[in-house]
Structure 1
Amino acid sequence: MSKQILMIVGDFGEDYETMVPYQALEMVGHEVDTVCPEKEAGDTVKTAVHDFRGDQTYLETRGHDFEVNATMDEIDPADYDALVVPGGRAPEYLRTYEEVLDAVRHFFEEDKPVAAVCHGPQILAAAGVLNGYEMTAYPAVRAEVEAAGCSWVDEVTVDGNLVTGQAWPDHPEWLAAFLDLLGTEIETGEAAVADD
């Protein structure tokens, strides 16, 4: 059964952590509305690609323009079954918008599925919803989420309604866990190839 999913995005959110979940969730039949404070449906946000090359932190390069397909001021979180919070640099400023924090609080108050990855948990910490959870995030965010009352795990983690991953390399396991939490059933079979 198709779910209505809200994704909160912003300028210089991580490209893969925005594009891949959006496309994967749509591919399996869910409807995903993407919103950003101060942007309207049809506007775009700029993404950034974070690459891991053995340095002390990631290397950042310009990603794609990602279209926002809904307007934050016009949506009602109660209309959505689940929430996705990508990482990148966007969470550091998205967490300063009360409308973002209020939307996040709704999903936790109603015990709806939430998937957060990388720096996305910065928003959850600012919303004050993480106390008592076991979770993960990008390792540089560990101190923040622990200060918000979490216990840290060094792997993709599901705790109640919350699915967390450290970064885009976790996508296969993180997205699979989120789809499981959503109750998504995917029929698989062998691909048929026509003989020439």
Structure 2
Amino acid sequence: MNNKKILMITGDFTEDYETMVPFQALMAVGHSVDAVCPGKRKGDTVVTAIHDFEGDQTYTEKRGHNFMLNASFDEVDVTTYDALVIPGGRAPEYLRLDATVVEMVKHFFVTNKPVAAICHGAQLLAAAGVLEGKLCSAYPACKPEVVSAGGRFAEIDVAEAVTDGNLVTAPAWPAHPAWLAQFMALLS
């Protein structure tokens, strides 16, 4: 296996599973993953949120864990990374307002490097203007943003994922097996 250096951009109230599972799984198979958040340094934490599907009209949210960042945001040089992971949750909603984050995301599309985004991660992709013509899945409430950004919204089951070029997306954490398998295929 050709081990890759992967950047994960996250923030407070990122979805717990969508942050911890890919972070740990990608490292378990030998990749290096740097988890960063604007305004935070290596050793700081972000609070996670646990989103669940319990029969209500939308997901429920509970406080999750404190996820420790293992790299400092202000030291990131995106040119040294082979791929990008964007977890969902509420973090993408405000991360998309950070011009540096948006430029980082754009880099991975300009250079055609693999990108994995899940759930509300599509909000950050839309803000970066990288969805034009791309097939993209996300949490269904993000469909208007995907379409407004010129993307084609993938109507897939919550446990499925879709790949379009360098982009792998999925609706939510039940898709981890498919989402991570498709992302790892792009990494190999």
TM-score by length of 2: 0.96
Tell me the SS of whatever aligns to 2:112: coil
Tell me the SS of whatever aligns to 1:55: coil
Aligned to 1:139: 140
Aligned length, in residue pairs: 183
Aligned to 1:158: 163
Q: CA deviation at 1:154?
A: 1.6
Residue 31 of structure 1 aligns with an amino acid whose one-letter code is: S
Aligned to 1:23: 24
Q: CA deviation at 1:153?
A: 1.1
Is 1:174 equivalent to 2:175 in the alignment?
no
Following the alignment from structure 2 to structure 1, what is the Cα–Cα distance between the partners of residues 3 and 35? 16
Following TM superposition, the consecutive aligned residue runs of length 4 or more in structure 1 with deviations greater than 4 angstroms are: none
- Identical-residue share of aligned pairs (%): 62
Tell me the SS of whatever aligns to 1:2: coil
Q: CA deviation at 1:73?
A: 1.1
Which is greater in Rg? Answer: 1
Following the alignment from structure 1 to structure 2, what is the Cα–Cα distance between the partners of residues 127 and 72? 18
Aligned to 2:105: 104
When structure 1 is superposed on structure 2, of 129-138 and 110-119 the one drifting more is 129-138
Following the alignment from structure 2 to structure 1, what is the Cα–Cα distance between the partners of residues 53 and 73? 32
Aligned to 2:46: 45
Gaps of 5+ in 2: none
TM-score by length of 1: 0.92
Gaps of 5+ in 1: 184-196
Is 1:124 equivalent to 2:125 in the alignment?
yes
Q: CA deviation at 1:72?
A: 1.1
Please give the per-residue CA displacement for 1:97-124, whole angstroms capped at 9, x wherever unaligned. 0110010000000000000000001001
**Aligned Cα RMSD in Å?**
0.5
Aligned to 1:187: none
Q: CA deviation at 1:71?
A: 1.0
Following the alignment from structure 2 to structure 1, what is the Cα–Cα distance between the partners of residues 47 and 75? 22
Aligned to 1:194: none
Following the alignment from structure 2 to structure 1, what is the Cα–Cα distance between the partners of residues 129 and 72? 24
